[in-house]
Amino acid sequence: MLIRKAKREESKIIASYIFLAMEEISYQFIGENSAEKALQFLHSLIEETNNQYSYENCWLVEFENEIIAAALVYDGSKLHELREPVARQIQAMFNRPFNPEDETQAGEYYIDCVGVNPNQQGKGIGSKIFQFLIDEYVYKRNETLGLLVDCNNPNAKRLYLKLGFEVVGEKTLVGKKLEHLQFKKKN
């Protein structure tokens, strides 16, 4: 299993995995319950640079020459700058404003979402991605990792706590209350 940075030409497969992780929220962003339109929207952003969904912020898991998972991670201090192109794209494609609450902030690298191929779920791939991200950002780069977890997803929260993340507060995103977790290097 190889974990590596994504390439622009992999945008379509990345979009399919990111959509798995954020299907409901993507519908709220675009104002429609259309998987096809949500995938088009995500793909259009993933293949571009300098936005929160860009392939530049994506790590991929490859197994036997097949991409089986994707994770989006970016510097929380750049949220507003990375969100601008997303707002422009939503306005252009769906003629709607886009101004959700801040999901991250300065002082953390934010794991926006992780999507795993449904045929590969339950095999520990999600745990491996998170362990890789912890090693890469916390131990190699000396950064704090942050993420949000839905209070109605106890299995995900249990995994994050087991990996060493700690609850640091609550956030609201598109009206939904979420728990904010971080992984910091222990001194």
**CA–CA distances in Å: residue 69 to residues 38, 94, 145, 169:** 18, 28, 19, 28
Is the pLDDT reported for residue 102 higher than 80? Answer: yes
Question: In 10 A of CB 41, how many CB atoms?
Answer: 23
Q: Give the residue-averaged pLDDT of 158-174.
A: 93
For residue 32, which amino acid is it? Answer: E
Cα dist. 15→48, 116, 132 in Å? 12, 11, 21
**pLDDT for 81:** 97
Query: Quick one: which of 6, 3, 1 has its CA closest to 132?
Result: 3
pLDDT at residue 174, rounded to an integer = 83
- Rounded to the nearest integer, the mean pLDDT of the chain is 95
From residue 137, give the alpha-carbon distance in Å to each of 126, 130, 144.
16, 10, 7
The pLDDT > 70 percentage for the chain reads: 99
Return the pLDDT at 155. Answer: 87
Model confidence at 62, in pLDDT bands (50, 70, 90)? very high
